[in-house]
Amino acid sequence: MIHSSKAGFMSGRTLRQRFPLLSMIIQRLLLSVVLLFAVSIVIFGGIEALPGDFATTYLGQSATPQAVANIRTELGLNKPVVTRYVEWLGGALTGDFGTSWANRNSVSEQIGGRLGNSLFLAFFAAIISVPLAVGLGMLAVLFRNRLPDRIINIVSLAAISLPEFFVGYLLIVWFAVNTGIATFPATVYDGMPFLDRLSAIALPTATLVLVVIAHMMRMTRAAIINVMSSAYVETAELKGLGGLRIIARHAAPNALAPVINVVALNLAYLVVGVVVVEVVFVYPGIGQYMVDAVSVRDMPVVQACGFIFAAFYIFLNMIADILAIIANPRLRHPR
């Protein structure tokens, strides 16, 4: 018995030693599943702990106890908390988030279109901000401690210091109220022409870009500067290679891991952090939907939106960890 357990332990160790890359990826996948399960408990438990009762709020203070009891029975609020959590989690894992308390419609169907709007907004903010941030970071390294580097750092610090709602209101005043260049509110609808849709999301996209670009740019700059002191970079400089070529071909590829992590964190923010931006621009996304649900205490909608936000955040962080592991040459080519 001792020999068999020892053999199993040794085989597990040998597997980790022979396939460290695969082992670490599997660990990240399992950790993400456990984390999502823990977050689901926090979301459900936190909402359950909120003061007040939906049935009383829905019917009003003059409602009879029998009417309140009937509503609670209809919504399943009379069941034990554990039973309701298991039913909710089982439905959530299959894409069924139950029925809205406020309008009795399917939460999944209502979220579908709004989630598409939020992802549309986040996608265009990402394809603008990520290349721009990486490019500005490389440019700052190329002109390190000179005027372009100082200007980029000052602008990025200013962008980090301003909250997104303030940036959004400034853009509305400048481009929608004073000049009329952009449209406000950012209204989109099914069947809307693609160019009109892009025009409608111009201001919220610009707000998200200004909010996330500074953090990515500064991390890119710091990661590349850290690599620039390496021996192989000094060798490339001695060979007479140009500064931009050294940064692009030698320094940047070896600074991928921290850059990937910060990009993934900011991509997660583009999905999770759209709540404030959507409220400011009255954009019909999942963030606006969740805020509207909170105002009427529509808890199934709030739980669904919170779970989706958490799933996106955990998924993008897992992808970042896996890409950072793959980008590590020592794990790709173990001795």
DSSP conformational letter for 53:
-
Task: Determine, yes or no, domain membership for 76.
Answer: no
CA dihedral 308, 313, 315, 316 (to 10 degrees): 140
pLDDT at res. 53: 67
Domain count, the chain: 1
User: Which tokens sit at 202?
Assistant: 């111009």
Give the C-alpha separation, 314 to 268, whole Å.
8
Give the C-alpha separation, 128 to 296, whole Å.
36
Task: Determine, yes or no, domain membership for 165.
Answer: yes
Whole-model pTM: value is: 0.79
Residues 6 or more apart whose CB falls under 8 angstroms from that of 116 comprise none
Task: Determine, yes or no, domain membership for 26.
Answer: no
Give the C-alpha separation, 243 to 251, whole Å.
10
By the 10 Å C-beta count (0-12 exposed, 13-18 middle, 19+ buried), 213 is classed as buried
Give the C-alpha separation, 265 to 116, whole Å.
20
Name which of 313, 263, 307, 305 is nearest 285 in CA terms.
305
Cβ-contact 125, 212 below 8 angstroms: yes
Domain range for residue 190? 107-332
pLDDT at res. 9: 45
Task: Determine, yes or no, domain membership for 60.
Answer: no
User: Which tokens sit at 276?
Assistant: 């404030």
Nearest 5 degrees, angle CA 283-CA 57-CA 102? 45
Task: Determine, yes or no, domain membership for 193.
Answer: yes
Task: Determine, yes or no, domain membership for 301.
Answer: yes
For 311, list phi and psi in degrees, rounded to 5: -65, -45
Backbone dihedral region of 56: left (phi > 0), alpha (psi from -120 to 50 degrees) or beta? alpha
Name which of 56, 218, 216, 199 is nearest 130 in CA terms.
216
Give the C-alpha separation, 9 to 266, whole Å.
39
pLDDT at res. 10: 47
DSSP conformational letter for 106:
B
- Fill in the amino acid letter for 14: T
pLDDT at res. 333: 57
Give the C-alpha separation, 198 to 204, whole Å.
10
Q: What is the residue-level pLDDT of the chain in tens, covering all 335 positions?
A: 545 545 454 455 555 556 667 778 888 889 999 999 999 999 988 887 777 666 676 666 666 777 778 877 877 777 888 888 998 888 888 888 888 887 788 888 888 888 888 888 889 999 998 899 888 888 888 888 888 888 888 888 887 788 888 888 888 888 888 877 777 777 776 777 888 888 888 889 999 988 888 888 888 888 888 877 777 666 766 666 666 777 777 677 777 777 887 888 888 888 877 888 888 888 888 888 888 888 777 888 889 999 999 998 898 888 888 887 776 666 555 55
Give the C-alpha separation, 169 to 277, whole Å.
10
Task: Determine, yes or no, domain membership for 35.
Answer: no
User: Which tokens sit at 160?
Assistant: 């980090």
Give the C-alpha separation, 220 to 234, whole Å.
20
For 180, list phi and psi in degrees, rounded to 5: 70, 15
Task: Determine, yes or no, domain membership for 56.
Answer: no
Which CATH number belongs to the domain containing residue 318 in this structure? 1.10.3720.10
Contacts of range 295-300, beta carbons closer than 8 Å, 24 or more positions apart: 296/102, 297/52, 297/54, 297/57, 297/58, 297/101, 298/100, 298/101, 298/102, 299/47, 299/54, 299/101, 300/88, 300/97, 300/98, 300/99, 300/100, 300/101, 300/107
Give the C-alpha separation, 8 to 1, whole Å.
11
